[in-house]
Amino acid sequence: MSAIVCSHVDKAYGATTVIRDLNLSIEEHEFVVFLGPSGCGKSTLLRMLAGLEDITGGEVSIGGKVVNDLEPGDRGIAMVFQNYA
């Protein structure tokens, strides 16, 4: 079973879609890096996984459990920010 699964995940701000039909499977103990230019959706994806940002469509599962409607503290996942502003 995958530790984290995104199935057909979308994110839109109003009429602007910033992530479209994302499918991603991260296995347990797998190390994953998201690389890309500023504004391409890396932080938005991480914020959606952590529950800090709502998804517009699709499904996010962590440990085999759909977490779309779970509060951030109930997901068993955390983020550490690079800057402590």
Question: What are the tens digits of pLDDT across the range 32-84?
Answer: 999 999 999 999 999 999 999 999 999 999 999 999 999 999 998 888 877 76
What pLDDT shows up at residue 67? 96
Average confidence (pLDDT) over 17-35: 95
pTM: 0.87
DSSP structure class, residue 72 = G
What pLDDT shows up at residue 85? 61
* Interatomic CA distance for residues 58 and 48, integer angstroms: 11
* Interatomic CA distance for residues 39 and 55, integer angstroms: 17
Give the helix ranges, DSSP H, for 1-85.
Answer: 42-50
* Domains observed in the chain: 2-74 (3.40.50.300)
